[in-house]
Structure 1
Amino acid sequence: MRTEAEMRKWVGLVALLVAEAMNLLDATIVQVAAPVIHGELGGATSDIQWFGAAYTLPFAALLITGGRLGDLAGRRRVFRIGVTGFVLASIGCALATQSGVLIGARAIQGATAAAIIPQTIGLIRSAFSGPDLPKALGSIGPVMGLAGISGPVLGGVITEVTSWRVVFLVNVPLGLAVLGLARLVPESRSPLRRGLDLPGTGLLIAGSALLVFPILQSQHWFLAPIGLAVLAACVLQQRATGARLLELSLFARPGFGAALVTSTLFFAVLSGLTLVVVLHQQLTLQHGVLRASLALLPWSAASGVSSWCAGQWLVQRVDSRLMYAGLGVLLIGLGAAHWWLIPALGVAGAGVGLFTTAFFTEALSRVEPHETGSAAGLLNAVQQFGGTLGVAGLGSVFLSHPTTLHPALLIATAAVLGTLGSAHLMRSPRSRRRVHAAPGPAATGR
């Protein structure tokens, strides 16, 4: 029988899992509702992509700083401040009367989410130990799978029955529940505490924005090389200042650099393809928002089931080689989607669940406790940045050829093949020996 202190920890875990799910729900719900929002608020066609990118871009750019803030000021404290800001920004989104106002409120949402997400792994690792730790970390995958399944359907039902504004108000009761339960999570800080790097953060935000903006707008392409130059300057600044934004020791871990590339490519496909399917259903086939959301149900359901199976059995038996199987199944689904879209999405979703579980287990298996905040922030950052690029790139390709999915599917297939190569680089001989030594979370699912 568990003691009262142990029960408090497990109840506190619920708050962390709900916060993770809330982030995924917000992204998937808004993707489904985006065409309806644009129809009511008006604005440029590219605003449909900005409804998502305005959230993910500051989220990606500030995740590392968010992780560092938790290391310094206390992860639970920063987590609760972030949740409070997220709830207030969600109310602002619901009250928006113009596309520009909504995009601005979404950016604030993304910034506050960057204070929430990096704290979860650190808080779980500090609260649990022994055999309870892998159980707590392993609960992330099924929860994210359930959120992924319910997000598109919930977005379609809410938008169809009530209003897209209620889509954002869903975050209010969820956020208040999280704030109430989070007090049960014990506070934790990093044993190695460094100051914030505001110049580095500024360079990262500016470089990311300059790189993504021309892709979203399909113009002002001269900004993209400037963005790359600013990001290069960020790297040089990190080296010159002793890398106060990042833990450079992470890049000495076998395969961690390849994991960042893998995450970027994979989640570009994941986020971009989800948006493209919704746009195809609503703009090309003229389906209603509810029917469009149901088109994603095979994808989400298969992803949730395969993620759970992988976390419970397959990763322990197959190890990180399961990544290859997941990407192979995903490629089969993308190929079949040229002819049988809905069934093919189910196949692709099964591949997504297999891959994400094995990927995050492999990527986090070599992270030391003092690197947790930086590693979680960095992995989530490139994941969100990849998602932003996917929404921008695949979304722009589809909007340029709105009568067919074929060009977007071909580009997504090429990106998955690139993911296959970078995933292979993660599996160094040393990392293969260590994969069972330190279990990581099954998936973040974003």
Structure 2
Amino acid sequence: MHRHRWRWAALATLLTAEAMNLLDATIVQVAAPVIHADLGGPAADIQWYAAAYTLPFAMLLITGGRLGDIVGRRRVFRIGVTGFVLASVACALAGSAGTMIAARAVQGCAAALVIPQTFGLIKSMFTGPETARALGTIGPVMGLSAVCGPALGGILTHADLFGSSWRAVFLVNVPLGVAVLLAAPLLAEDRSPDRPRLALVGTALAAVGTGLVVYPLIAPGRHWTVLAVGVATLALFGLHQRRAAHPLIEGSLFGNRGFPAALVCSALFFAAMNGLMLVVVVHLQLGLGADVLTAGLTMLPWSGGMAVASWVAGAHLVPRYGARVMHAGLATMLTGVLGAVAVYATAGGYPWPLLGALAVCGTGLGLFTVPFFTTALHRVRPHETGSAAGLLNAVQQLGGTLGTALLGSVFLGTFAATGSATGAAGRAFWVGGGLLVATGVAVRVMTSGPRGVSPKDARQPAAAGHNSRGG
């Protein structure tokens, strides 16, 4: 009995660390306009407060997982949580936009050390049916964090506890992180028997290339040269991976057209999701002058719709209809986006009908994400599962970064040019709708053909995969 309680207490420690990551991303997204108003700088810094976190997080996820395999997952987990807490304190104490962005980047690096260890540590502590039960707790915890994050960000910032204003959204990580570190000795040390090699050159090329592609999307002005260098660097990364003895990405994953299509699908869908969330928050605070509490509460229908739809999809729809639920999710989310476009075209003051459109968007999000990860990983061979899950999550975070950059720039650029925040939001939602249509094409490729995944396949549980998290 004592051993049983010890394992579940250790699981709670891992889940707290996972929740910390998602809460930090969604809380900061709501508070970003207030941070910008206090620290100053160009409006593009609002996008960097999110992108500076998700970009290094995405680029270092696979490397973080390999470090755990090599030197021990518990050790890397503790180092990552310590770094995350210290970086959170640095964010809370930041006196300039540059310092904040740098501290956010360190946070992202630390999170990349923490998150990949979760599955390995769970599998080392549990056996048999208990493993599935333990892994099954990740989804509800992530869903709860996603629901609470936007509202909590608005409440903490608006409450101005002890004059802390937006700084409280970072300080909340300190007690959570300390609690995780105190409980970390409960975790069993674990490492891979076949220790992989670190692909440092590949990681560096991917990080530099992606950063150079993202920068022109956010920075004001035209930086075509930087974009071209970024694309060339990513091309060089691809060549390096084909010839490297120890590549960052398993080349065999691309032998099945379904998995590359899943990566494209993940990037497009989460670009739309993260970008649209940012547009709603920034439109309300910068465009309409609403306070941060109003912005946070406005996102509740989105979060609530996602939570309810995720439960319904997982418990009833996916077991019966399989991968077809993804198509229903995309259609539902696109309907919500078009509804938001109609609201922005007619709204004068606070867009009350937008709440309904956001609820529909959140419902579509929940319907899509539950079957997506299972479908994407179903045909992956057992020895490729860890690499595939890490790559899929990295691309998810990268897509969120690109969406924040693209849709945020569409909104801010249109707002600056026309002076109409509502019109700018409508244009950004049109772009988001285009991303969802492109996602539908990628889903079609992923699930069709002799090497795709049938609806029946998606009813089976995947070996690994995270639920969606905002970045």
Output the TM-score relative to the length of structure 2.
0.90
Query: How far apart in 1 are the matches of 2:205 and 2:182?
Result: 36
Aligned match of 2:3: 5
Alignment of 1:220-369 (within 5 A): 220-253=223-256, 255-338=258-341, 339=343, 340-368=353-381
Deviations 1:190-244 (A, max 9, x none): 3432211111111111101100000011331221121111011111111111343
Aligned pair partner of 2:395 in 382, 404, 424: 382
* Structure 2 residue identity aligned to 1:40: D
* Structure 1 residue identity aligned to 2:194: L
Q: Percent of pairs identical after alignment?
A: 56
Aligned match of 1:199: 201
- Contact 2:83 / 2:110 at 8 angstroms: preserved in 1? yes
Query: How far apart in 1 are the matches of 2:430 and 2:265?
Result: 18
* Structure 2 residue identity aligned to 1:443: N
Query: How far apart in 1 are the matches of 2:122 and 2:316?
Result: 22
Local SS of the residue matching 1:401: helix
| Residue 411 of structure 1 pairs with residue 431 of structure 2 | yes
Aligned-pair CA distance for 1:367? 4.2
Any unmatched runs of 5+ in structure 2? 344-352, 416-420
Aligned-pair CA distance for 1:253? 4.8
Query: How far apart in 2 are the matches of 1:434 and 1:311?
Result: 15
Deviations 1:110-145 (A, max 9, x none): 111111112222323333343333332222222111
Query: How far apart in 2 are the matches of 1:166 and 1:147?
Result: 17
Alignment of 1:12-411 (within 5 A): 12-162=10-160, 163-219=165-221, 220-253=223-256, 255-338=258-341, 339=343, 340-368=353-381, 370-402=383-415, 403=421, 404=423, 405-411=425-431
Aligned-pair CA distance for 1:309? 2.3
* Structure 1 residue identity aligned to 2:433: T
Aligned-pair CA distance for 1:418? 0.9
Query: How far apart in 1 are the matches of 2:306 and 2:74?
Result: 30
Structure 1 pair 285/334, CA: closer, same or farther in 2 (3 Å)? same
Aligned-pair CA distance for 1:437? 4.7
- 262-271 vs 436-445, which deviates more? 436-445
Local SS of the residue matching 2:290: coil
Aligned-pair CA distance for 1:289? 0.6
Local SS of the residue matching 2:214: helix
Local SS of the residue matching 1:183: helix
- Contact 2:323 / 2:459 at 8 angstroms: preserved in 1? no
- Contact 1:149 / 1:304 at 8 angstroms: preserved in 2? yes
Aligned-pair CA distance for 1:149? 1.2
Structure 1 pair 287/62, CA: closer, same or farther in 2 (3 Å)? same
- 422-431 vs 172-181, which deviates more? 422-431
- Contact 2:197 / 2:246 at 8 angstroms: preserved in 1? no
Query: How far apart in 1 are the matches of 2:74 and 2:427?
Result: 45
Local SS of the residue matching 1:337: helix
* Structure 2 residue identity aligned to 1:284: G
Query: How far apart in 2 are the matches of 1:249 and 1:180?
Result: 41
* Structure 1 residue identity aligned to 2:170: F
Deviations 1:289-330 (A, max 9, x none): 100111100001111121122223322222122111111110
- 370-379 vs 168-177, which deviates more? 370-379
- Contact 1:141 / 1:441 at 8 angstroms: preserved in 2? no
Query: How far apart in 1 are the matches of 2:149 and 2:86?
Result: 21
Aligned residue pairs, count: 444
Query: How far apart in 2 are the matches of 1:70 and 1:373?
Result: 12
Aligned-pair CA distance for 1:441? 4.7
* Structure 2 residue identity aligned to 1:96: A
- Contact 2:322 / 2:371 at 8 angstroms: preserved in 1? yes
Any unmatched runs of 5+ in structure 1? none
Query: How far apart in 1 are the matches of 2:190 and 2:256?
Result: 24
Aligned-pair CA distance for 1:28? 0.9
- Contact 2:212 / 2:229 at 8 angstroms: preserved in 1? yes
Local SS of the residue matching 2:224: coil
Aligned-pair CA distance for 1:436? 4.5
* Structure 2 residue identity aligned to 1:306: A
- 53-62 vs 217-226, which deviates more? 217-226
Deviations 1:46-78 (A, max 9, x none): 111111111111111111211211222222221
Query: How far apart in 2 are the matches of 1:423 and 1:135?
Result: 29
Structure 1 pair 94/442, CA: closer, same or farther in 2 (3 Å)? closer
Aligned-pair CA distance for 1:174? 1.1
Aligned-pair CA distance for 1:92? 0.5
